[in-house]
Amino acid sequence: LTWTVQGGWHSPTVTPYGPIALDPAAAVLHYGQEVFEGIKAYRHADGSIHTFRPDQNGRRLQRSARRLALPELPVAYFTQSLRELIAVDAAWVPSGEDQSLYLRPFMFAKEAFLGVRPAHKVGYYVIASPAGAYFHGGVNPVTIWLSEHYARAGEGGTGAAKTGGNYAASLLPQSEAYENECDQVVFLDKNRNVEELGGMNVVFVYKDGTIVTPQSESILEGITRDSLLQLAADRGHHIEGRSVSLDEWRSGVASGDIVEVFACGTAAVVTPIGVLKGRDFIDEQPTGELALSLRQELTDIQYGRIEDRHNWLVRLDG
Ligand code: PMP
C-alpha cells in the first residue's frame, strides 16, 4: 500500500518477494521515520490458518505511527493485508509443534528530500518468514545482562513505539550482553526501574500469587504479556502493572518473595529468566511452573488445541 498526502492509502498490490527501489534521499534512510509489527500465522490440525489478536497489533502500529509522524493505517486494512499475503503464501505456513509463519508488517517514509519534516509519501509492506520452534529440546532459561550504561528509551521518547531506532539503540548494549556471556539485555529507566528486554517484556511472580509487570510510557506494550496476564487473571491471580525498581527485583529474589521471573514476546512466547548478571553481581533467578503452564495454555489457544474462550484467533484463509 502507498500513502500520499493527496491520495491517502491506495494501490494495494501483492508482488513476488524482492528488493524495493528507494531514492537515496528517501527520508527513512536519513531520519529513521519507520515503524513495524511482528505477528504470527498458525496452522491448526485441520489445516486452517489463524492469527492471534491482529486488532491489537493493528492498533499498536497506529500508536507507533502517530509517534513517528506517519499516517495511521486503518486496522481493517492491517488485518486485510495479512489475509492477502496468506492467500498467495498459504503453503509457507508450516505445520507442527511450535512452527509458524512470522509476519512482519512495516511502514516507512519514501519521499525523497533532505529537510527534516514528516514525509508526504509513505509505503506499507508485509513480508513473511517461516519460523521454527524457538527452543529445541524444551524451553531454556535465558541469562540477562543488566545494562547500566545505556537506556533503551526516555520519557517523552519513542520507547512505547515499535520503531527501528529503538532497536538500533539496543544493539550496542546487546553486544555488551554477549561479551558478558549473557543472551539478552534488560534496560532500566532513569529512576532505576526495570523496563524490558531488547525484544521482550518482563514479568515477576510473587509468593502470594500476585503477578507484577513494569508499566510506563516508555515500555512497548506487549500483546503476549497482555494475553498471558489475562489467562493468569482467569486463574485467580492478582495482576499489577506498576514500577518495579532493580532493588525490589534483587531483594525480592534474595528474600524469596519473588518466586518466578520470566520474559515474554511473540517470538519466544515465554522464556524463564535463569540468571541476572551485572558488573559486580550474578543473581540466580527462581524458575517455576507458572511461566511454563501459561505458555502451554497460550500456545494451546494459538494452535487451536483448546477452546479460544477470549475470541483471540482470527482466521486468515478461506
Ligand atoms: N518489548 C519489545 C522491545 C519488543 O520488541 C517486543 C516484541 N514485539 C515485546 C516487548 C513483546 O511484544 P509482543 O508480545 O507484542 O511480541
| CATH code for the domain of 171 | 3.20.10.10
Residues 210 and 236 placed together within one structural domain of the fold: yes
Residue 113 contacts residue 80 (beta carbons within 8 Å): no
38 pocket-lining for ligand 1 (C-beta < 6 Å): yes
Alpha-carbon gap, residue 300 to 59, rounded angstroms: 25
77: domain CATH number is 3.30.470.10
Number of domains in the chain: 2
Mutate to test the pocket of ligand 1, among 200, 221, 227 (most ligand atoms within 8 A of CB): 200
From the alpha carbon of 56, which atom of ligand 1 is closest?
A: 15
Q: What is the pLDDT along the chain (318 residues), one digit of tens a residue?
A: 999 999 999 999 999 999 999 999 999 999 999 999 999 999 999 999 999 999 999 999 999 999 999 999 999 999 999 999 999 999 999 998 889 999 999 999 999 999 999 999 999 999 999 998 777 777 889 999 999 889 988 889 999 999 999 999 999 999 999 999 999 999 999 999 999 999 999 999 999 999 999 999 999 999 999 999 999 999 999 999 999 999 999 999 999 999 999 999 999 999 999 999 999 999 999 988 999 999 999 999 999 999 999 999 999 998
Alpha-carbon gap, residue 44 to 94, rounded angstroms: 10
Residue 157 contacts residue 147 (beta carbons within 8 Å): no
Residues 52 and 154 placed together within one structural domain of the fold: no
62 pocket-lining for ligand 1 (C-beta < 6 Å): no
Residues 149 and 261 placed together within one structural domain of the fold: yes
Residue 125 contacts residue 13 (beta carbons within 8 Å): no
The answer to whether residue 281 sits within a structural domain is yes
Residues 24 and 62 placed together within one structural domain of the fold: yes
Domain boundary among 108, 133, 158: 133
266 pocket-lining for ligand 1 (C-beta < 6 Å): yes
141 pocket-lining for ligand 1 (C-beta < 6 Å): no
* Residues of the domain holding 37: 2-133
Residues 248 and 186 placed together within one structural domain of the fold: yes
Alpha-carbon gap, residue 136 to 147, rounded angstroms: 28
- What is the Å distance from ligand 1's center to 58 Cα? 14
The answer to whether residue 313 sits within a structural domain is no
**Going by C-beta distance under 8 Å and a sequence separation of 6 or more, which residues neighbour residue 83?**
316, 317
265 pocket-lining for ligand 1 (C-beta < 6 Å): yes
223 pocket-lining for ligand 1 (C-beta < 6 Å): yes
Write the secondary structure of the chain as one string of H (helix), E (strand) and C (coil): CEEECCCEEECCCCCCCCCCCCCCCEHHHHHCCEEECCEEEEECCCCCEEEECHHHHHHHHHHHHHHCCCCCCCHHHHHHHHHHHHHHHHHHCCCCCCCEEEEEEEEEECCECCCCCCCCEEEEEEEEEEECCCCCCCCCCEEEEEECCCCCCCCCCCCCCCCHHHHHHHHHHHHHHHHCCCCEEEEECCCCEEEEECCCEEEEEECCCCEEEECCCCCCCCHHHHHHHHHHHHCCCCEEEECCEHHHHHHHHHHCCEEEEEEEECCCEEEEEEEEEECCEEEECCCCHHHHHHHHHHHHHHCCCCCCCCCCEEECCC
- What is the Å distance from ligand 1's center to 267 Cα? 8
54 pocket-lining for ligand 1 (C-beta < 6 Å): no
201 pocket-lining for ligand 1 (C-beta < 6 Å): yes
Residues 66 and 94 placed together within one structural domain of the fold: yes
Residues 123 and 147 placed together within one structural domain of the fold: no
The answer to whether residue 306 sits within a structural domain is no
Residue 316 contacts residue 41 (beta carbons within 8 Å): yes
Q: What's residue 136's pLDDT?
A: 73
Give phi and psi for 66, each to the nearest 5: -60, -45
The answer to whether residue 304 sits within a structural domain is no
The answer to whether residue 307 sits within a structural domain is no
What residue has cell string 499498536? 60
Residues 104 and 123 placed together within one structural domain of the fold: yes
Distance of CA 36 to the CA centre of its chain: 10
Q: What's residue 134's pLDDT?
A: 78
286 pocket-lining for ligand 1 (C-beta < 6 Å): no
Nearest CA to ligand 1 atom 7: 199
Residues 167 and 56 placed together within one structural domain of the fold: no
The answer to whether residue 312 sits within a structural domain is no
Q: What's residue 248's pLDDT?
A: 98
Of the CA atoms within 13 Å of residue 299, those in its CB half-sphere come to: 20
Grid cell locating 216: 510506563
